[in-house]
Structure 1
């Protein structure tokens, strides 16, 4: 049996073919203008899934980068505070050595040294209460506004610390244990300087205080070195994270971006094909009144 082919059927077929050609042309134009291969999930479901995974990894890397920057801020602040604290303690030690020669010093001279030691103690307490973004850096995760109160009591919780996640399974401590560095209460370096001041005014031997100051200076230097090693570790992780971000950006471009040269060639070819189809269809099918009545 021979099927009857009418002009209406030919027109409908031509219209479908032209619409398909126009759709392909539009897709290539979108790719050329956006330079993206994936404009909607149906373009490549697997590619879209891979792109989503890479973007998730990018967001994680960006968060790690923010954590690293925050950690560097903490450690830089602590580094400056410990550097200043070391300088203060060394000055205090020099004054204690000077004051220990009580036989050659007049009372006004001892008083002058005592006043300077008190000033150094207060400045040391200020350094011990150093803050970063409103949080004391020597108090762990304490919610108090200071690491040490007026009685030299440490406000941090024993064993608490501030960590920053810098990788999938990697964290770095970014605070320092104020109780370990400065002591607390009657056993603190602040109380030690106060005892030295009292002994100086009374004309006592300051040998015990001098020995304890040496111990405290050694402790501060040791913690300072530990902070420096953590900062170095953060810098190393930051470099790795930057390399990872660049790699992820390259992966995403490989999934989403088009080969612009190839797309332009395809676009030109499709434009020619579409124009040719239009011309052929218009010549082959001359609709008349009978075409619509058939």
Structure 2
């Protein structure tokens, strides 16, 4: 027969007690942290999936930051183009008033001065910036999109656009071409305003410039319409990104997080098993001469 010594029983009891103690510690750590995976070895497959989900969450957060930044750019553009439209309408009204023949030369000069002021405001609008960048200058690092002159000089980069990535395969332009919106050289809207003011001061009829002015207003309106379309695209992308983030977070929680009820039940079971192991180990380790004689 196999003889089991007291030392063998003691070592076996100690090993069992250590194992129960380790399981109790793991259950306590899980219950307190609420996380099912505390180290990769807990669930290698789940750890890999959790890392992939977290990477997609991080990418989605960056896309959302890009969307927010692009929305701010486009809102700045929309406001600037709206202001430009209002200024050009005032110029048109002044040109019509100056060409109806009811004003003397002093009145026409006053209208010309008013148009000069509107031109300065329009130039300032064309040089609108966001976070230190000219929103109408493309990728150019010039201090302003237009340098004042007769006519103003466009400093933007032809063909250079500011883009924001809002998805794995999707980008959106967040700037506007100042040359297309306001024109360049003698054909710019600024040159039209200069001509209207010169006509008023010389006594000529400025209404002949209305066709060119209307063309400039149409270009500004077209640019604003394009900006509005891109704003709508960003809004849709932002909603899609938010929905994806909610879905991915639920998936991550399902992989990593522990069910609280299950964690508490497991902790209670491990505590009971540990107490039982303690009791058995105490019986094994305590024999004295009196216990032996019993």
TM-score bucket (shorter structure) = over 0.9
Alignment partners' CA distance in 2, 1:53 and 1:242: 18
Q: CA RMSD in A?
A: 1.4
Alignment partner, residue 178 of structure 1: 178
Deviation at residue 104 of structure 1 after TM alignment: 2.9
Aligned partner of 1:67 in structure 2 is 66
1:204 aligns to what SS in structure 2? coil
Secondary structure of 2:172's aligned partner: strand
Please report how far the alpha carbon of residue 222 of structure 1 lies from its aligned counterpart in structure 2 after TM superposition: 1.5
CA distance in 2, matches of 1:22, 1:120: 82
CA-to-aligned-CA distance 1:147-178 (integer Å, 9 cap, x gap): 10113111111111111100000011111110
Instruction: Please tell me whether the aligned partners of residues 37 and 256 of structure 1 are also in contact (alpha carbons under 8 angstroms).
Output: yes
CA-to-aligned-CA distance 1:160-207 (integer Å, 9 cap, x gap): 111110000001111111000001222211111011111111112323
CA contact (8 A) 1:182 1:216 kept: yes
* SS of alignment partner, residue 37 of structure 2: coil
Shift of residue 118 of structure 1? Answer: 0.2
Aligned position for 1:258: 258
What is the TM-score with the length of structure 1 in the denominator? 0.94
Q: Which runs of 5+ in 1 are unaligned?
A: 290-294
What TM-score results when the alignment is normalised by the length of structure 2?
Answer: 0.94
Tell me the residue number matched to 2:221. 221
Aligned-residue offset at 1:209: 1.4
- Kept after mapping to 2: 8 A contact 1:7/1:287: no
Partner of residue 17, structure 2:
18
**Does residue 43 of structure 1 match 2:54?**
no
**What is the alpha-carbon distance in structure 2 between the residues aligned to residue 86 and residue 228 of structure 1?**
15
1:226-270 per-residue CA deviation (whole Å, 9 max, x = no partner) reads: 111110111111001001111111011001100111111111111
Q: Deviations for 1:198-229, whole angstroms, at most 9, x for unmatched residues?
A: 11111123233111001111111111111111
Q: CA deviation at 1:286?
A: 2.8
1:109 partnered with 2:107: yes
Distance 1:242 1:183 in 2: 39
Q: Give distance in 1, aligned partners of 2:263 and 2:105.
A: 92
For 2:120 and 2:287, the matched residues in 1 are separated by: 100
Matched residue count: 287
User: 1:272 offset after TM fit, Å?
Assistant: 0.7
Which residue in the other structure is 1:292 paired with?
none
User: Paired residue for 1:76?
Assistant: 75
1:112-159 CA distances to partner (integer Å, 9 max, x unpaired)? 000000000000000000011110100111101111011311111111
The aligned counterpart of 1:132 is 130
Q: State the 1:58 CA deviation.
A: 0.7
Deviates more, 1:13-22 or 1:205-214: 205-214
Question: Is 1:278 aligned with 2:283?
Answer: no
Deviation of 1:3 after TM superposition, in Å, equals 4.9
Q: Does 1:188 align with 2:180?
A: no
Q: Give the deviation of 1:7 after TM superposition.
A: 2.1
Distance between the aligned counterparts of 1:88 and 1:196, measured in 2? 14
Q: Aligned partners of 1:220, 1:230: CA distance in 2, in Å? A: 16
